[in-house]
């Protein structure tokens, strides 16, 4: 009986610590806005810290309409500070350049960001730009 209450207390404490850590992690995550057009759909965009220490913006690109081919192009990311001033712009090609028509297939991209970037307080707009 006492062992069960100790287990409940430990589980409750672990849940409390996890919820506080999760809430704190949300404070540092930048706000990401994906702008999709009729040609391609950008999705699953996220920030990741790379091995070299810089930040990268990774995501996937697929067709908006399975019957319409996506023209060759690139993914563009615009970074804004807290006041809404643009602080950085970067673009990259997606791989493979042929976006497959199958539903579960997509191209992927990685936008490398400056090493001195601190993602807290930054907002990002990501969109597809055809050549």
Residue 127 burial by Cβ neighbours in a 10 Å radius (0-12, 13-18, 19+): middle
User: Residue 14 above 70 pLDDT?
Assistant: yes
Cis (ω within 30 of 0) for the bond into 41?
no
Closest CA to 75 of 124, 36, 129: 129
Cβ–Cβ < 8 Å for 45, 34: yes
> What pLDDT is recorded for position 35?
92
Mean pLDDT score across all residues of the chain: 83
> What pLDDT is recorded for position 78?
93
Sequence-ordered strand ranges (E) for the chain: 31-35, 40-49, 55-63, 73-80, 86-92, 107-112, 123-130
Cβ–Cβ < 8 Å for 79, 124: yes
Q: What is the model's pTM?
A: 0.72
Residue-range domains of the chain with CATH: 30-130 (2.60.40)
Side-by-side strand order, sheet with 107-112: 40-49, 55-63, 107-112
């Amino acid at each position: 009986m006492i062992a069960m209450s100790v287990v409940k207390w430990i589980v409750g404490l672990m849940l409390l610590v996890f919820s506080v850590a999760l809430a704190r992690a949300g404070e540092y995550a930048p706000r990401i806005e994906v702008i999709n057009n009729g040609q391609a759909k950008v999705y699953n965009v996220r920030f990741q810290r790379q091995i070299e220490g810089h930040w990268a913006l990774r995501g996937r690109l697929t067709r908006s309409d399975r019957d319409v081919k996506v023209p060759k192009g690139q993914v563009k990311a615009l970074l804004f500070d807290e006041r809404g001033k643009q602080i950085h712009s970067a673009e990259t090609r997606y791989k493979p350049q042929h976006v497959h028509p199958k539903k579960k297939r997509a191209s992927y991209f990685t936008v490398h960001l400056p090493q001195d970037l601190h993602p807290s307080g930054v907002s990002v707009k990501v969109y597809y730009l055809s050549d």
